[in-house]
Structure 1
Amino acid sequence: MPSLASTNQSTGEPEDYSYGNWYIDEPTSGGETSQPDRTIPTCQHSFPPSLYHTCLAPLSLATILLLSFLVKRRRLYLGCWHGTFGLPSPLDFLAEESGRLVSVAVFGILFTSLYVLGLDEDPLPFLPISSPASQGYWKTLALLYYPALYYPLIACATVRHRAGYILGCLLSWTHCGVQISYKVECPQTPQVYRYYSLLVSLPLLAGLVLLSLWYPMQLLRSWSGKMAASPEVMKESYYRDYLRHILSGKRSKNSSMVTNSSFPSRFLFYCLSYIYIPQRGFRLPLKLILSATLASITIYQEALLLLVAFVPNLQKVRAGITEEVTYMLAGFGLALSEDKLEVMELVKYYLWALEVCYVSALVLSCLLTLLMLTRSMVTHRANLRAWHCGATLDGCLQPQRQGVSATTIFCWMSFSGYQAAFVCLGLFFQQIIFFFGFVVFTFLVIIPILYGRNLLLFHMLGSMWPFCLTLVLAVILQNLAARWIFLENQAGQQELTNRKALYAITFLLIPINVLVGIMVGICRMVISTLFNIIHFCQLDLSLLPRDVDTLDPGYRTYCYYLKMEVSQSHPAMKAFCFLLLQLPGSRGLDGAQAAPPPNEAEEGIHLLQTKNPARNAIKSKKSRVRWGLAYTLIQNPSLLAFRKKALAGALANGSQPCPPNP
């Protein structure tokens, strides 16, 4: 090599370093240099995150202890010092409460914090990380820290005490003020994309702003004496409205739309089956609403990450295309054009088409996932109403024994987490497959047609046209023969005829049908893949056949979740319990004798006058309603075990049962 270099220098031949310049970042001969991205400077917060967490963690712990003391004192009164402090419940997942907005906001805040934690280099700011290898352990610990940090935000609302509203105002204002100041001081970060930290925190900021407005409103209502109705009153009114709607016997509009056989009405009903429209007398359980909230946040966060991780980098590559790309393509044997400028424009156009395919696939994936979620809401309502009436769903797991099992409780607790995880995986798979399909269709069909070059697919189809034409003609021939030759209409019924010709054609077309079967098998594989990835996020739909649908863990979790909801929060059962609690001889939850309201006492006096026909009509109407309620309770399979145990237990001898443990 030294001798070769000296020979070149002696002969005076210019050295050519253009080939090596492809692999080093040096200025080109024209003096054009690729402008590097502007470096984002390190931003220091005026209120460090370590100090923020160091102050908020003890404040959250003190709030929990104070709320525990308030709940214990209010419920036990004089006996509050004889037991341990009870941890305030975040919310009743099995009840129909009115304050769902707070729970949705807090769950959105928590879930967004966990997404931010995934790319954060400092998961626990108040604890220094000794080595990068131990960062995974601290992130695992942070998965338990953030739920405990945001626990008081929702516990302050469920206590329904003025002190709880004051503490909620303090915590929500502190969290909201610090988070907003962080985003105002440092809107740009070097993570993934300069504005990714700001965009990923939008659900968190929206939830904190909502709580910062909700708690002061509740505090003002408590001071002005305009408090909302208690959860017990709200639940009782909902269960009564539900029973009135069920026992009224009114026909819904959907049923009349189904009976109408016109094509526009059936098409409209099919479209409405994918859109959840609230119906009077029914509300989705709180667990389903929280699951839908977590799934929506998952779609937003994953779509944002997929978008900012690919599109800006592709735009940088497209902006940095120079004449050297022609030599690189020539090295691979690709000659797009003899003009270097035209080659540059073509490469930039191809990269732009690739970006359009990626964004189109991402938009389509998000829309289909949202559509499947709304479809799931409709299916959840139909399944719950069917189980409330005592019906058994096709394909759902049948209980091996009556009552609630450990598997049922586990599946009920895991349902919301599984829903978010299935949405995340389903959206990722859809993005990959749709992007690949769009790229193949664009670069093999659309661009060749527009430019009239690289017609590889069309040349392949042109060479295979006799084979494709034979397969198409064979399929058409068999269908026409089956319709017009091998069927005979006799007395309004179709019968098989020309059996010898049928056997002969079947034997002759066996090789052709094998080839047709290969094409149909490919179509079956494509259709099955598309169906499974589109419906992957639906837990109410099994992706396996009916005989083995119990092997689908998502569908199995959903079936057990339904059993838990129906057995523990059946509207008819709870309405019946409220009616029993309102009887004159019933006792309240604290064991005290419940005094009958004045209107019930007057109603009892008037019912003694049996000669009044109007009163008799009212009494007969109430009897029919009670018989309908009793029939509904009897037909519910989840109440069989409880009814038999109650009749065979101590209640049969007239003794009172022991109160259940709280």
Structure 2
Amino acid sequence: MKKLYKGDRTGLPPRIPHAHVAMARSISYMGLQIAFLFSGQSVLSVLFTVAAFAFHLKIVSPLQEGRVTEFFEFWGNILANSCPFIAVFYLQKTIARCFFLQDKLSPTDKDKPLALNNIRAFQNASYFGVFYNVVVGMAAALSRLLRSMVWGCLTISRIDQTLMPSGFQGTRDTGYCSWVSVLLVDANHTNPTALVFCHLLLKRRLTCSLFSYNQLGHFSTLALHTATVARQRRRGRRGRLRWWLSYTLLRNPSLVLLRRRGPAPGCAASQR
């Protein structure tokens, strides 16, 4: 909200709802928040139940029944399959830091610049690491899906967090759109700068009204003085124009014949 007061909308989605949509979404915000809380509680209850059952089945039950060998075989297979991938990943980071990056520009720099040192070695490593990275990518895709499901279940009750990918959170996620709409409505109606400006404007208007009209509804002294000054200015301007006209005609008698003639006295009287 403080960022919105300053005019900073970096935390909002690129596509914000229109004014009427934001107002309608802000009305349904409270109901959606309650529904999200109940649905999140239900999903978390099921998730924790499944996690507790899996923990009991894979860890507690083998230890209670004396199946220690099965317990160690299960976790040994997991560690044996995951440790090589982790070791290769850290080995790639070490090789990239030592051989593929140029030296630091300054001894005080914390990291090396993103500039290649051995381009051909880098290309060879990328080529021969394709097949290994395909296997790692399949595991990473499965891990990405599982993590998205877990974090989605954990944050389903949070209306300020969207479960949609980037670019769709402002229009496809109803709860998140309602939260953004409430922020916009509150920011537009509780902005301290706008409130102070409106307060000063209203105060100035009331002050001017008190000085302009008295209790009987007539013009006050200030209003009469303003009207008098304006009338005197108009008269002074008209006098200056007439003076310059007479001076110009006096210095240029030939312009008298070119002046525009006014209406006849009878026509002027009838028009009046």
What TM-score comes out, normalization by structure 2 length?
A: 0.61
What is residue 535 of structure 1 aligned with on the other side? 155
What is residue 427 of structure 1 aligned with on the other side? 41
What is residue 565 of structure 1 aligned with on the other side? 186
Residues 463 and 510 of structure 1: CA distance in aligned 2, closer, same or farther (over 3 Å): same
Per-residue Cα deviation, 1:475-498 (whole angstroms, up to 9, x for no partner): 233222222232231544543233
Is the counterpart of residue 519 in structure 1 residue 133 in structure 2? no
Is the counterpart of residue 584 in structure 1 residue 207 in structure 2? yes
Match of 2:177 among 556, 569, 574: 556
Per-residue Cα deviation, 1:324-358 (whole angstroms, up to 9, x for no partner): xxxxxxxxxxxxxxxxxxxxxxxxxxxxxxxxxxx
Secondary structure of 2:9's aligned partner: coil
Is the counterpart of residue 387 in structure 1 residue 26 in structure 2? no
Name structure 1 gaps, 5 residues minimum.
1-382, 595-662
Residues 558 and 486 of structure 1: CA distance in aligned 2, closer, same or farther (over 3 Å): same
- Structure 1: how far apart are the matches of 2:79 and 2:142? 18
Is the counterpart of residue 471 in structure 1 residue 85 in structure 2? yes
Match of 2:27 among 406, 413, 428: 413
What is residue 356 of structure 1 aligned with on the other side? none
Match of 2:126 among 501, 506, 509: 506
Q: Kindly report which structure 2 residues correspond to 1:21-36, keeping only aligned pairs within 5 A, or say none.
A: none
Per-residue Cα deviation, 1:43-75 (whole angstroms, up to 9, x for no partner): xxxxxxxxxxxxxxxxxxxxxxxxxxxxxxxxx
Residues 477 and 409 of structure 1: CA distance in aligned 2, closer, same or farther (over 3 Å): closer
- Structure 2: how far apart are the matches of 1:387 and 1:463? 52
What is residue 49 of structure 1 aligned with on the other side? none
Q: Is the CA contact 1:444–1:456 (under 8 Å) kept in the aligned structure 2?
A: no
Counterpart AA for 2:29: F
- Structure 2: how far apart are the matches of 1:564 and 1:477? 52
Residues 564 and 448 of structure 1: CA distance in aligned 2, closer, same or farther (over 3 Å): same
Q: Is the CA contact 1:471–1:515 (under 8 Å) kept in the aligned structure 2?
A: no
RMSD of the TM alignment (CA)?
A: 3.3
- Structure 2: how far apart are the matches of 1:533 and 1:557? 20
Is the counterpart of residue 445 in structure 1 residue 59 in structure 2? yes
Give how far 1:561 is off: 2.0
Match of 1:485 among 99, 107, 129: 99
Secondary structure of 1:548's aligned partner: coil
Secondary structure of 1:391's aligned partner: coil
Counterpart AA for 2:6: C
Q: Kindly report which structure 2 residues correspond to 1:593-608, keeping only aligned pairs within 5 A, or say none.
A: none
Give 1 or 2 for the bigger CA radius of gyration: 2
Secondary structure of 2:102's aligned partner: strand
Counterpart AA for 1:530: V
Give how far 1:555 is off: 1.4
What is residue 240 of structure 2 aligned with on the other side? none
Residues 524 and 593 of structure 1: CA distance in aligned 2, closer, same or farther (over 3 Å): farther
- Structure 2: how far apart are the matches of 1:458 and 1:418? 47
What is residue 19 of structure 1 aligned with on the other side? none
What TM-score comes out, normalization by structure 1 length?
A: 0.27
Q: Is the CA contact 2:63–2:71 (under 8 Å) kept in the aligned structure 1?
A: no
What is residue 267 of structure 2 aligned with on the other side? none
Secondary structure of 2:103's aligned partner: strand
Name structure 2 gaps, 5 residues minimum.
107-111, 216-272
Residues 455 and 431 of structure 1: CA distance in aligned 2, closer, same or farther (over 3 Å): farther
Q: Kindly report which structure 2 residues correspond to 1:70-469, keeping only aligned pairs within 5 A, or say none.
A: 383=1, 385-396=2-13, 397-398=15-16, 404-405=19-20, 407-449=21-63, 451-453=65-67, 456=70, 458-462=72-76, 467-469=81-83
What is residue 628 of structure 1 aligned with on the other side? none
- Structure 2: how far apart are the matches of 1:528 and 1:593? 70
